[in-house]
A and B are shown apart, each in its own frame.
Chain A
Amino acid sequence: MTRISGTYLAKRLVVSYLTLLVIMTLLFVLLRSMPGSFISSMITSGMTAEQIEQIRETWGLNEPLWKQYLDFMINYQTGNFGRSPTYNAPVADLMIRRMPRTLILFGATFLIGFIIGPLVGMYLGWWRGTKKDKSIFSTSLLLYSMPSFWISWLFIWVFNYEFNLLPSAYMFTQFPEFQWTAVTVMRDVLYHIALPIMSLTFIGWVGAMLIMRPTMNQVTDEGYVFLARAKGLSERTVMIKHAARNALIPVATGAVVGLAFLIDGSIIIENVFSWPGMGQIIVSSVLERDFPVAQATFFLLAVLVVIMRLLTDIVYTYLDPRIKFGESE
């Protein structure tokens, strides 16, 4: 507690907020410099110029650019995400509906990946150079090299097409013969999420392992590990309690990297498995120039990452007391 001063925390919070503002500005510029306008999907061939003008007026495209920018910034900070032209619904509703679905997928794979990864990395780093290390390590690298959509296809082929064990698409059974109760909903979602999670974690855990292994190996040469051994502690205790805890520091940063990986991975996986989450609409909205939706998804993912970055810096200081933040030397 004492290692992080209140002023430091306050400073970081303000900076995180400013970061978000810059990201929003960047989003505004980037999306508007894309070729095509988002009202082009609403314009059909039979429309008169007045009707088109009417549409432009409704969506605020006739305002000067600085006014549009100002409106955008103010609206987003007051939680007003606007309306989606393609879904014909408020963007906020869309987000609220889709966010939890993605978070389920995210959370599960994040958890599984960051439990398996560091554990395997710990063992491999500790027993570095042995036959076991070499074979497991090279196999995991092969896994990590697979394109996620390709491995999903292979999984779908085996588990759905050949043996028909698991569903290959959607989040719920489309025309169920059972009643929707809390239990059946849970079971159905678990049944449908199995393949996407398998495909994502099959590749994803390696990322954490890759960060853990070399640092674990560096830590083995440290004095405190030697000391712990000299005290007569068991190899297991030294590895887990003394070495692994220090090797976890870069893994904490890696968690943010892992998050970025997960966002990409889940975008592809959601598209492959027709999972109705954010990853699916972020791609389609960008491609269809549905800017209100694209902006909102980008924005929410950005908020997620900025919060994670803040947490990482705090976790850092707890893991490594040698790092001091917010104190002048």
Chain B
Amino acid sequence: MATGQGDTETEGESYTRRWEPRLERMKRGWSRYTEHKIGVVGLIILGIYTLWAIAPSVFAPHSADWVAYLGEPPVQSRMSAEQVRSLPHPPAFGDPFFAPLGTNANGKGILSLVIYSARNAMYIGLAAGLLSSLVGVPLGLISGFYGDTWIDEAIQRFVDIMYGLPFLPFLIVLVAIRGITTTNIIIGIAVTSWLNNCITIRGETLSLKERSYVESAKVAGASDTRIIFRHIMPNVLPISFVFLAQDAAGAVIAQASLAYLGLADFTANSWGIMLENIKSQGYIFSAWWWLIPPGVALMLMAASFYFIGFSMEDVTNPQR
């Protein structure tokens, strides 16, 4: 790599030489990925959500502070009693105002709220999923490879202890101790959700390390680290990707569940909070335009994480 002074041509050449095979492999991986329709569908959905998260004002008909009849803030006037009684308003297209998915009991546009909430869900899903994978996968591999030694024992006892604390109540306690903010919810979800990765990957590794190719690698003098990361990890990666996706999706759902129980940062916009509001204000059975969209949005986001995860599984699976 240290080519001394900048001979740009050779440097450029070595650059292409190094990167061409990687690009080639990525291209092949991509073509394998696109074989799966659900993977592509998942990417498209997640792409839309990403756009929503980056620039909600482009897609939403109003800002998140818009109020029916009164319009964008700052508002001076107040609603008449007649107008207040008409809320939550079913979908309206221009008469008396434009709200394609109707409004909630406070006169906020449902479609705008759904779009503005994408950022929150995206952030929570990705952050919690990545955090818990980074902890769970290496620990599971190490624990499985050193199965039945003190290392495995220590990690498994730790997992046992964490497992003994039920996820949702434990999360409630954690959030109550640290305060209800989005960051604390993410940390709480990550702290409680890496266990599934760890335990499943340990089980797989336990079975894999008895296979003959691991034994032959051992005989050939490969170090433990090499066996774990070169020989065993490629075989558990498919499952670990599934778990990264599951954790991201689970985090989105867990956040909604917390909101349902009244534990959410109510200053933020989120689908869980929209659903909490419909429950606490008692419109579950009378305002379908308010009940359905946040749930569907949540479902599609979680589903897109699952779709992508399971398609990735096939790309990384060395057996095919």
Q: A153 in the interface, Cβ–Cβ < 8 Å?
A: yes
Please report the C-alpha to C-alpha distance between residue A23 and residue B299 in the assembled complex, in whole angstroms.
34
Choose from A148, A250, A260 the contact partner of B166 (Cβ within 8 Å): A260
B1-9, B17-25, B252-260: which one contacts chain A?
Answer: B252-260
Are B298 and A253 interface neighbours, CB within 8 A?
Answer: no
Within 273-315 of A, Cβ neighbours of B (below 8 Å) are at 282-283, 286-287, 294, 297-298, 301-302, 305-306, 309
Point out the residues of chain A lying under 8 angstroms from B204, CB to CB.
250
Please report the C-alpha to C-alpha distance between residue A20 and residue B242 in the assembled complex, in whole angstroms.
31
Are A250 and B172 interface neighbours, CB within 8 A?
Answer: no
Closest CB in chain B relative to A247 CB, distance in Å: 11
Q: A236 in the interface, Cβ–Cβ < 8 Å?
A: no
Are A138 and B257 interface neighbours, CB within 8 A?
Answer: no
Point out the residues of chain A lying under 8 angstroms from B166, CB to CB.
260, 263-264, 267, 282, 298, 301-302, 305
Q: B313 in the interface, Cβ–Cβ < 8 Å?
A: yes
What total count of A-B pairs have CB within 8 Å? 177
Q: A19 in the interface, Cβ–Cβ < 8 Å?
A: yes
Within 289-314 of B, Cβ neighbours of A (below 8 Å) are at 291, 295, 298-303, 306-307, 310, 313
Please report the C-alpha to C-alpha distance between residue A29 and residue B31 in the assembled complex, in whole angstroms.
52
Q: B173 in the interface, Cβ–Cβ < 8 Å?
A: yes
Q: A31 in the interface, Cβ–Cβ < 8 Å?
A: yes
Point out the residues of chain B lying under 8 angstroms from A257, CB to CB.
196, 199-200
Label chain B's interface by main secondary structure. helix
Choose from B153, B170, B199, B210 the contact partner of A256 (Cβ within 8 Å): B199
Choose from B41, B168, B249 the contact partner of A268 (Cβ within 8 Å): B168
B35's nearest neighbour on chain A, judged by CB, is A129
Are A138 and B307 interface neighbours, CB within 8 A?
Answer: yes
Please report the C-alpha to C-alpha distance between residue A135 and residue B52 in the assembled complex, in whole angstroms.
28
Within 204-218 of B, Cβ neighbours of A (below 8 Å) are at 204, 206-207, 210
A147's nearest neighbour on chain B, judged by CB, is B256
Are A144 and B200 interface neighbours, CB within 8 A?
Answer: no
Q: B38 in the interface, Cβ–Cβ < 8 Å?
A: yes
Closest CB in chain A relative to B137 CB, distance in Å: 15
Within 105-122 of B, Cβ neighbours of A (below 8 Å) are at none
Q: B165 in the interface, Cβ–Cβ < 8 Å?
A: yes
Q: A218 in the interface, Cβ–Cβ < 8 Å?
A: yes
Please report the C-alpha to C-alpha distance between residue A316 and residue B300 in the assembled complex, in whole angstroms.
36
A93-101, A180-188, A319-327: which one contacts chain B?
Answer: A319-327
Closest CB in chain B relative to A206 CB, distance in Å: 9
Are B161 and A253 interface neighbours, CB within 8 A?
Answer: no
Within 222-238 of B, Cβ neighbours of A (below 8 Å) are at 238
Q: A235 in the interface, Cβ–Cβ < 8 Å?
A: no
Point out the residues of chain A lying under 8 angstroms from B303, CB to CB.
141-142, 144-145
Please report the C-alpha to C-alpha distance between residue A134 and residue B40 in the assembled complex, in whole angstroms.
13
Are B168 and A264 interface neighbours, CB within 8 A?
Answer: yes
Are A249 and B203 interface neighbours, CB within 8 A?
Answer: yes
Choose from B153, B164, B275, B291 the contact partner of A302 (Cβ within 8 Å): B164
Point out the residues of chain A lying under 8 angstroms from B95, CB to CB.
none
Point out the residues of chain B lying under 8 angstroms from A316, CB to CB.
203
Q: B176 in the interface, Cβ–Cβ < 8 Å?
A: yes
Using known A-B contacts A141-B307, A144-B306, determine if residue A264 contacts B160 with beta carbons closer than 8 Å.
no
Q: B261 in the interface, Cβ–Cβ < 8 Å?
A: yes
Point out the residues of chain B lying under 8 angstroms from A31, CB to CB.
173
Q: B167 in the interface, Cβ–Cβ < 8 Å?
A: yes
Q: B148 in the interface, Cβ–Cβ < 8 Å?
A: yes
Within 6-21 of A, Cβ neighbours of B (below 8 Å) are at 15-16, 18-20
Using known A-B contacts A306-B160, A323-B206, determine if residue A264 contacts B167 with beta carbons closer than 8 Å.
yes
Closest CB in chain B relative to A142 CB, distance in Å: 5
B199's nearest neighbour on chain A, judged by CB, is A253
Within 100-154 of A, Cβ neighbours of B (below 8 Å) are at 134, 137-138, 141-142, 144-150, 153-154
Are A286 and B172 interface neighbours, CB within 8 A?
Answer: yes
Please report the C-alpha to C-alpha distance between residue A250 and residue B206 in the assembled complex, in whole angstroms.
11
Point out the residues of chain B lying under 8 angstroms from A34, CB to CB.
173, 176-177
Are A35 and B164 interface neighbours, CB within 8 A?
Answer: no
Please report the C-alpha to C-alpha distance between residue A33 and residue B285 in the assembled complex, in whole angstroms.
40
Point out the residues of chain B lying under 8 angstroms from A142, CB to CB.
299, 303
Q: A86 in the interface, Cβ–Cβ < 8 Å?
A: no
Q: A239 in the interface, Cβ–Cβ < 8 Å?
A: no
Q: A271 in the interface, Cβ–Cβ < 8 Å?
A: yes
Point out the residues of chain B lying under 8 angstroms from A221, CB to CB.
319
Q: A210 in the interface, Cβ–Cβ < 8 Å?
A: yes
Are A26 and B299 interface neighbours, CB within 8 A?
Answer: no
Are A218 and B275 interface neighbours, CB within 8 A?
Answer: no
Point out the residues of chain B lying under 8 angstroms from A226, CB to CB.
none
Q: A254 in the interface, Cβ–Cβ < 8 Å?
A: yes
15 pairs, CB–CB < 8 Å, chain A vs chain B = A19-B157, A141-B306, A145-B300, A146-B302, A150-B295, A249-B203, A250-B203, A256-B163, A263-B167, A268-B257, A268-B261, A298-B169, A306-B163, A309-B163, A323-B206
- Please provide the 4 A-B residue pairs with the shortest distance between their CB atoms, ordered closest to farther: A145-B302, A302-B164, A145-B303, A150-B295
Contacts beyond the supplied A19-B160, A264-B254, A298-B169: 12 A-B pairs with Cβ under 8 Å: A23-B161, A31-B173, A145-B306, A153-B291, A214-B239, A218-B319, A253-B199, A268-B260, A305-B163, A316-B203, A323-B206, A326-B148
Residues of A in contact with B (beta carbons under 8 Å apart): 15-16, 18-20, 22-23, 26-27, 30-31, 33-35, 134, 137-138, 141-142, 144-150, 153-154, 156-157, 161, 210-211, 214, 218, 221, 249-250, 253-254, 256-257, 260, 263-264, 267-268, 271, 282-283, 286-287, 294, 297-298, 301-302, 305-306, 309, 316, 320, 322-326
